Amino acid sequence: MDPPPAYPHLWDGLAAYLRGIDGALGVRPRAVLVVSGHWETQQPTLNIAAKPDLLFDYYGFPEHTYRLTYPVSGAPELAPRVRGLLSEAGFESAAAERGLDHGVFVPFLLIYPQADVPILQLSLQKDLDPALHLRMGRALAPLRDEGVLIVGSGMSYHNLRDLFSGRGADAAASFDAWLGEAVADPKTRDLKLTAWRSAPGGREAHPREEHLLPLMVAAGAADGDVGVRSFGDSIAGKPLSGFQFG
């Protein structure tokens, strides 16, 4: 999407970061397991569509953004393994066939533009419990040694009301600094992320936490790895960060 006239280079840094992820990994995964901030269910649910459509789950955007295509294959064959790991950790799970929401197809249009890496999407839980999502990530950690890339697709700052308003810049900066420190240390990471609501600027950065929780799943799967800030930029005066484990 073209940036607002007042911010002609708004997305340049983020786009470059996403385009560079494939090369930065050093190895092509056999599949991606992705958790997006745009799918919530009562229990962990896997999208087992073999050829998922796209869900244009946004409103009021330019007409061409509703004609995007991303003909990626799903990874239904991976679903039994994921459900087995979740079951071993005490999670009841489900399967469904649905399209890919824009938290999946928009970044992956840049990460894997040829749509040549299968994608299996896993839902967030409606209770939005950070400890539960960290535990879900820990259950999925073995997938990392099986050629599966685990991706949390959300935003480190997601207060759309204040994003372009000029309000909340100090709170956004405070939360971004806190989040980088919290993610980095595997010894204290779970404790800090579970208590994110009491972090400086936490609620100002995330009036509702669905865009932060994908990070919890990825952090839970980190299996003791240090978290590294692999992306940092300012979007309309608000810091935006991405993190990588391993």
**pLDDT at residue 166 in the model:** 84
| CA 8 – CA 205 distance, rounded (Å) | 24
Residue environment code for 88-117, b if the CB has 16+ CB neighbours within 10 A, otherwise e: eeebebeeeeeebbbbbbbbbbbbbeeeeb
- Give residue 8's pLDDT: 87
DSSP β-bridge partners for residue 235 = 238
Residues 42-83: tens digit of each pLDDT: 999 999 999 999 999 999 889 999 999 999 999 999 999 999
Tokens in use for 212?
A: 């932060």
User: Does residue 220 belong to any structural domain of this protein?
Assistant: yes
* Mean per-residue pLDDT, 198-210: 97
Helices and strands of the chain, counted as H and E runs: 8, 7
The pLDDT assigned to 156 comes to 97
Determine, yes or no, domain membership for 132.
yes
Domain contains 4:
no
Cα–Cα distance measured from residue 171 to residue 166, given in angstroms and rounded to the nearest whole number: 12
pLDDT at 3 over 90: no
Q: How many CB atoms lie within 10 A of CB 12?
A: 12
Q: What is the largest CA-CA distance in the chain?
A: 51
- Name the pLDDT band for 1 (thresholds 50, 70, 90): confident
Residue 215, pLDDT score: 98
Residue 113: which domain range? 12-245
3-class SS at 237?
coil
Q: Of the candidates 9, 15, 241, 214, which has an alpha carbon nearest to the alpha carbon of residue 108?
A: 15
pLDDT band at 99 (very low <50, low <70, confident <90, very high): very high
Among 82, 165, 71, 86, smallest CA distance to 118 is for 71
- Residue 137 confidence (pLDDT): 98
Asked if residue 2 is part of any domain, the answer here is no
**pLDDT for 195:** 97
pLDDT at 177: 98
* Each residue's pLDDT tens digit, 114-169: 999 999 999 999 999 999 999 999 999 999 999 999 999 999 999 999 988 889 99
pLDDT tens for 5-33 read 888 888 999 999 999 999 999 999 999 99
pLDDT over threshold 80, residue 34: yes
Q: Which two tokens stand for residue 19?
A: 């385009």
Question: What is the residue whose two structure tokens read 């372009």?
Answer: 164
Helix (H, G, I), strand (E, B) or coil at 103: helix
Would residue 6 count as lying in a domain? no
Domain count, the chain: 1
Is residue 213 assigned to a domain? yes
Structure tokens at 108: 């992956």
In a domain, 116, yes or no: yes
Instruction: Give me the pLDDT at residue 236, please.
Output: 85
Helix 12-25 with 102-111: angle, nearest 10 deg: 70
Q: What is the CATH number of the domain that holds 207?
A: 3.40.830.10
Output the pTM of the full model: 0.95
Mean pLDDT in residue range 82-104: 98
In whole angstroms, what is the distance from residue 163 CA to residue 167 CA?
A: 8
What does the alpha-carbon distance between residue 154 and residue 210 come to, in Å, rounded to a whole number?
Answer: 8
